[in-house]
Structure 1
């Protein structure tokens, strides 16, 4: 299945990187390695098994049932599956310690 990293995912990954640098004090080279690994693992898993992962619980609680959530090493990846187009769209990357609900609103994923 084709995996597309949407603009909101790019922007949220940058926010996540800043969180790791500023709040957790990780060195830049470590943050860059984490980001690259996160993208590679996300694409690998979602291109082969997008149906495996559950509906995003928090989005569902807010009335949005079409997002799914993949967890990788303490990171949340929010995506939508488009079976008729055989495509997966990744919309959000977040560290588990970031305010997830705020990120959903900030990146306007509550539609």
Structure 2
């Protein structure tokens, strides 16, 4: 299918926050490795066939239907598809992290 994959400024901020949080649990080297693995996963899977991933149910309940989510182990990657065959990575989160709360923080931040 071959989509381009772009990372938004917000995706880099959320990835940095995620790795800082995970550093306290995993140690610095493992947290950095996790960050790189999530980036690589996003590039490979969202570049190949992003349509295989479902619309975010959490956001769909708010009427937002253009965000999709990828679950990777204990993490999730939130992304949108552009009409130009581009996957736009919007955020990296822990799997149990509330996507609606993140969206709210973004709106007021």
Q: TM-score, normalised by structure 2?
A: 0.89
Is 1:81–2:55 an aligned residue pair?
no
Where do residues 48-87 of structure 1 align in structure 2 (5 Å cutoff)? 48-82=48-82, 84-87=83-86
Check whether the contact 2:11–2:92 (CA below 8 A) recurs between aligned residues.
yes
Specify the alignment match of 2:31 in structure 1.
31
Specify the alignment match of 2:96 in structure 1.
97
Specify the alignment match of 2:16 in structure 1.
14
**Any idea what the Cα deviations from partners look like across 1:37-87, whole Å, max 9, x if unmatched?**
1100111000011100000000111111110001111111010011x3111
Gaps of 5+ in 1: none
Is 1:2–2:4 an aligned residue pair?
yes
1:21, distance to aligned residue in structure 2 (A): 2.2
Gaps of 5+ in 2: none
Whole-angstrom CA distance in 2 between matches of 1:17 and 1:98: 14
CA RMSD of aligned residues (A): 1.2
Q: TM-score, normalised by structure 1?
A: 0.88
Whole-angstrom CA distance in 2 between matches of 1:20 and 1:2: 28
**Which portions of structure 1, spanning 4 or more consecutive aligned residues, are displaced by more than 2 angstroms?**
97-101
Corresponding residue pairs, total: 105
Check whether the contact 2:71–2:95 (CA below 8 A) recurs between aligned residues.
no
